[in-house]
Amino acid sequence: MNSRLTWMRLFAAVALVTALGCGESTEANPDGSTDEVDGGGGGEVDGGGGGDEDAGGGGDEDGGTPPGCGALGEECCDGDACTEGMCVDGTCTDVPDCGGVGESCCDGDSCDGDNVCVDGTCEAAPMCGGVGEECCDGGVCGDGATCVDGTCASCGGAGESCCPGDVCSDGNVCSDAGVCVGCGGGGEACCPGNACDGGGCCVADTCTPSGSSCPGVGGTCEDSSCGGCGAIGEECCDGDLCTAADAVCSGGTCASCGGAGEACCPGESCDDGFACGAGDVCVTCGGPGETCCPGDVCDGGFACGEGDVCRACGDAGEVCCPGDTCSDGCCDPGSDTCVAEGAECGLGTCTAAGTCDACGFPGIACCPGDECEGGACCGSGDTCVPSGYTDGMSGMVCSDGELVSCGGDGEACCEGSACDGGGCCVGGFCVADEASCGSGGFGGGELTCADGSCTGGGDFACGGLDEPCCTIDGAGRFCSASGLICQGGFGGSTCEACGEPGEACCEGQACGGGGCCVDGLCVGEGDDCSADDGTCVGGGCEDGACGIIGGPCCDGDIGCSAPFAVCDRGADICVSCGGLDEVCCGGATAAECALPYVCNPRAGFGGRCVLPGG
């Protein structure tokens, strides 16, 4: 039961004992004499029975609990005291249980144990990590499962996805496509450690069955030897090839590999319980101070930390445990280190709930006072909407920090640079069809809006699909029609469709429908970011665990995959980009910034987004 409830009931009990106290006292009569007041029985003033001045029944000279107060439904006694429940708005009210499953959340939206507060009611914490269950935080699943589209799926078996660390069950090996396939049989891939069934020989990563000719090597395969070479103790085939399991060429002779203190086998593999360490020698792994096992796995209570060494995890100052969890505090996404409650964490502060709460950035909660950074607007749901985007209201858009009408002549461009009636989006504002786009183009003359394109003398047109990007004075290079992005450098830039899977990323690296921007192209939500970077979920790769504002940068060249996010390599965290006075997002020309801003490449490292002409 909630500790607050226990103290309230104890307080009520004390109040009741005080109100019904049994000690004797005296009471003054009008003539100045005194009578004993017996809290338990007789005397002129009887606390248990009759008399004109009954301590149990009332009267102005009672000194006890006033009539009709203290019980449930009655008014509170002096000092807001109640004999039952607690005083709420002057009335004694029952105190409901809180914190348990199905009960109201306690103060601070807290619940008992691992229960979670959902819309004011405590619910059991959802199970995660098992096959068919939700992935745990950080896209983590239990043994024999991997996170696919937010759900843990069985892995390691033939035809299933490889488990983390490219691990498959016995008799299978992880293919280049990330799928476990059968191994060891004739014509199949060699199993881990170059093993083949029935004395077969591993040649070019494929098993040659015993009794068959070894392709490209010569000789007949027998007991894992190709005509006298390739087996342990024999000379290496073709100078450096060993065809037996757990063998490596050393000094021209095939030697045993994979065991403790032995050379690592091909592919830097070792026997179970060992990992390929310094000097390509197999060492024990997984314990404190030891090399991490394949897949960055360590024994319980430890996690793979700096230098690929297993270190204690979970406490403040220690590496985060698997799943980005800490015993107390929060896992800082940049340093992958546990920090205490109240400490800086990511782009925000570590809360008692164990989350790094940030505010004011696109797609994240508004700061107090409905404030947002970089010209974004606080939209419905108290979430910041970047400039140039709508809040779901037809005809309205966020523009430079204000929610304004859009689409009409002289109004801000709607989301996706859209303007009404064939108008053109120039510098973040709509120009009506047949009105002037401004001066620019290759001839430097006046351009006129014509069905979304800016046209000049002769057949010149820019800003429309597959047309050159416009270069109008003060507005940088841009596309004037909706749903397009300017791709390419000076002299060769073209307006292309953007935002859908397989298309170029839109301004600020944005992709529609929760997609991810990977290498300049949109990956649809639920699709793979790459062979090694997991699934795109909510704009983040690795099942949403990296690439979003406030989260860690993804590995390799991806960096940050969510809209208006760029990797701060020094902190290894994704920060907001593309807003006013923020760093340019990178990628394509003027579309590195949210509308109506353009990138000024001379304003500091990485450039800064400024208003046109700024």
Quick one: three-class SS letters along 202-228? EECCEEECCCCECCCCCCEEECCEECC
Query: Given pLDDT bands bounded at 50, 70 and 90, which one contains residue 490?
Result: low
**pLDDT tens profile 101-146:** 778 777 656 677 666 777 677 777 667 778 888 877 667 777 788 8
Q: Where are the domains of the chain?
A: 3-93, 360-410, 419-504
Tell me: pLDDT of 586 over 80: no
As a whole number of angstroms, the distance between CA 291 and CA 287 comes to 8
Q: Which residue has the higher pLDDT, 233 or 35?
A: 233
**pLDDT tens profile 515-527:** 999 988 999 998 9
Q: For the chain, give the percent of residues with pLDDT over 70.
A: 82
CB half-sphere exposure, 409, CA atoms < 13 A? 9
Q: Say which amino acid occupies 92.
A: C
Q: Which residue has the higher pLDDT, 212 or 357?
A: 212
* pLDDT at 25 (0 to 100): 38
* pLDDT at 241 (0 to 100): 92
Mean of pLDDT values over 403-410 = 92
Listing DSSP states for 298-315 in one string gives --TTEEEEGGGEEEEBSS
Mean of pLDDT values over 282-301 = 89
436-439 sheet: strands from edge to edge: 436-439, 446-450, 453-455, 461-462
Highest mean pLDDT range out of 292-296, 462-466, 585-589?
A: 462-466
Non-local (6+) Cβ contacts of 513 within 8 A are: 524, 525
Non-local (6+) Cβ contacts of 344 within 8 A are: 332, 350
Tell me: pLDDT of 403 over 60: yes
* pLDDT at 228 (0 to 100): 93
* pLDDT at 442 (0 to 100): 56
Return the structure tokens found at 45.
């003033």
**pLDDT tens profile 526-555:** 898 987 788 899 899 988 889 999 888 888
As a whole number of angstroms, the distance between CA 35 and CA 58 comes to 17
* pLDDT at 405 (0 to 100): 92
As a whole number of angstroms, the distance between CA 427 and CA 217 comes to 67
**pLDDT tens profile 172-186:** 988 888 899 999 999
Which H or E run includes 130? none
As a whole number of angstroms, the distance between CA 269 and CA 119 comes to 50
Do residues 563 and 582 lie in contact, with contact meaning Cβ atoms separated by under 8 Å? no
Q: Which residue has the higher pLDDT, 230 or 476?
A: 230
* pLDDT at 131 (0 to 100): 86
Return the structure tokens found at 160.
């299933």
Nearest to 538 by CA among 67, 530, 549, 174: 549
Return the structure tokens found at 48.
């248990």
* pLDDT at 5 (0 to 100): 34
User: Going by DSSP bridges, is the β-strand pair 396-399/384-385 parallel, antiparallel, or unpaired?
Assistant: unpaired
Do residues 200 and 187 lie in contact, with contact meaning Cβ atoms separated by under 8 Å? no
Question: Helix or strand or coil: residue 346?
Answer: coil
498-513 burial code (b ≥16 CB/10 A, e <16): bbebebbbbbbbbbbe
Q: Say which amino acid occupies 605.
A: F
Do residues 76 and 92 lie in contact, with contact meaning Cβ atoms separated by under 8 Å? yes
* pLDDT at 168 (0 to 100): 86
Listing DSSP states for 69-82 in one string gives BSSTTSBPBGGGB-
As a whole number of angstroms, the distance between CA 404 and CA 382 comes to 17
**How far apart, in Å, are the Cα atoms of 28 and each of 31, 36, 44, 61?**
8, 9, 12, 10
Do residues 182 and 235 lie in contact, with contact meaning Cβ atoms separated by under 8 Å? no
pLDDT, the chain, mean: 81
SS (H, E, C) 551-568: CECECCCCECCCCCEEEE
As a whole number of angstroms, the distance between CA 486 and CA 476 comes to 11
Do residues 198 and 236 lie in contact, with contact meaning Cβ atoms separated by under 8 Å? no
As a whole number of angstroms, the distance between CA 515 and CA 135 comes to 19
Return the structure tokens found at 511.
């992709």
Q: Which residue has the higher pLDDT, 82 or 419?
A: 419
* pLDDT at 265 (0 to 100): 86
* pLDDT at 409 (0 to 100): 95
As a whole number of angstroms, the distance between CA 363 and CA 354 comes to 20
Whether residue 288 is preceded by a cis peptide bond, meaning omega within 30 degrees of 0, is no
Return the structure tokens found at 319.
């590496």
Non-local (6+) Cβ contacts of 247 within 8 A are: 194, 230, 231, 232, 254, 255, 256, 257, 265
Q: What is the DSSP letter of 124?
A: P
Tell me: pLDDT of 67 over 70: no
Question: Helix or strand or coil: residue 109?
Answer: helix
Tell me: pLDDT of 69 over 50: yes
126: exposed, middle or buried (Cβ count in 10 Å: 0-12, 13-18, 19+): exposed
Mean of pLDDT values over 25-51 = 39
* pLDDT at 137 (0 to 100): 65
Q: Say which amino acid occupies 407.
A: G
Which H or E run includes 118? strand 116-118
442-461 burial code (b ≥16 CB/10 A, e <16): eeeeebbbbebbbbbeeebb
As a whole number of angstroms, the distance between CA 340 and CA 354 comes to 9
As a whole number of angstroms, the distance between CA 588 and CA 578 comes to 12
φ, ψ at 554 (rounded to 5°)? -75, 160
Question: Number of helices (H) and strands (E), helices first, in the chain?
Answer: 2, 44
As a whole number of angstroms, the distance between CA 223 and CA 200 comes to 7
Non-local (6+) Cβ contacts of 594 within 8 A are: 374, 375, 386, 387, 388, 389, 507, 508, 564, 578, 579, 609
Non-local (6+) Cβ contacts of 3 within 8 A are: none
Query: Given pLDDT bands bounded at 50, 70 and 90, which one contains residue 509?
Result: confident
